[in-house]
Amino acid sequence: MNRRRGRGLGVWCAGLLLAGVGVVAGCRAAGTDGVTPVPQLLAFLPWLLVPTGFALLCALLARWWPGLVCGAVVLGVLAWYLQPYGGAADPGGPPLATLRVLTSNVEFGRAAPALVPLIRDRRPDVVFVEECEFTCQGMLETAFATAYPYRRAVRAAGSHGSLILSRHPLRPTAGVPGTMGMPGAIADVHGQAVRLQLAHPMPPLPGQVGLWRRELGSLRAFAAADRGTPTVLAGDFNATRDHAAFRRILDTGLTDAARLAGPGLAASWPARTASVFGAQIDHVLLSPDFTATGAHFLRVTGTDHRALVVDVTLHHRG
């Protein structure tokens, strides 16, 4: 009797785990983000290998052979999507300029004091700062009045404020409309126009998945609107490559710099556990005019996001 109960428990545990993970994996395979809680779980898709492995163990101990087969299929689907999404394009032309790009969500401006020495140490050419409210903007603009004389900002409180700092001259653009500030500009990089756009769509909170999807759609529309001008789209996307809405942005021809430069699966959020568990929701996306030679996620005191620093090279179009 105890053996029968144990076998039944194993079958139930394996079945429930495989059903839950199978729904998420199925949505990934179908190219849809589904409804809550699927979008939230898709952010952690690689980590679903853990419950899948536990389900396989339960099925094995319970000698539930259909469960073993089902678990092996789900495991294979998850393993397949560990592969990078999107290929790197060859710019085809000689180098024109090198740029260092930094993006950081400073969490309501609280991490601004820690971001100042990081900028001084890393000396990026362009800085994208999300959730940079009035005090944060004043601090950064004062600290780097000479080093970064060009800036674009959405002046707002809390998470709605954002800032772009640049060593290169900027011409303002309308930016991308959204609940939180997403300023944009055209940079003059050695005579070459480069589109700069900060990304900060709403997160996929329960009840706001539709808004999250629409704002990612607006970023996709920006990326697709002008494929002839070099483009850098950077910030906190609140999405990973396992979200269909984010992959649609990549399908316009942009490539994730972290995928080009190495740490393709490194997590950026939450910062406290990013070294062992988390999701990569902070990105620097590049048009095919760029190559990337280095990408680093860095801890910044005061925020739940890691900053991302990327070294890129702008090429003449071949």
Separation between Cα atoms, residue 109 and residue 19, nearest integer Å = 41
At 98-114, the pLDDT tens digits run 999 999 999 999 999 99
Provide the pLDDT for residue 195: 98
* H or E, element range at 120: helix 112-122
Residue 84 — very low, low, confident or very high, per pLDDT cuts 50/70/90?
confident
By the 10 Å C-beta count (0-12 exposed, 13-18 middle, 19+ buried), 3 is classed as exposed
285 forms bridges with which residues in the sheet?
Answer: 233, 256
CB of 109 within 8 A of CB of 161? yes
By the 10 Å C-beta count (0-12 exposed, 13-18 middle, 19+ buried), 104 is classed as buried
At 286-297, the pLDDT tens digits run 999 999 988 999
| Per-domain boundaries in the chain | 2-80, 95-315
By the 10 Å C-beta count (0-12 exposed, 13-18 middle, 19+ buried), 219 is classed as buried
Q: What percent of the chain has pLDDT over 70?
A: 97
Q: Which two tokens stand for residue 244?
A: 């269909």
Orientation of helix 134-143 relative to helix 112-122, angle to 10°: 30
Question: How many beta carbons lie within 10 A of that of residue 300, not counting itself?
Answer: 22
Structural domain 95-315, CATH architecture: 4-Layer Sandwich (3.60)
At 228-252, the pLDDT tens digits run 999 999 999 999 999 999 999 999 9
SS3 content of the chain, % helix, strand, coil (to 5): 40, 25, 35
Cα within 13 Å of Cα(262), Cβ side: 10
At 135-160, the pLDDT tens digits run 999 999 999 999 999 999 999 999 99
CB of 44 within 8 A of CB of 242? no
Of the listed ranges 71-75, 258-262, 286-290, the one predicted with least confidence: 258-262
DSSP helix/strand/coil, 73: helix
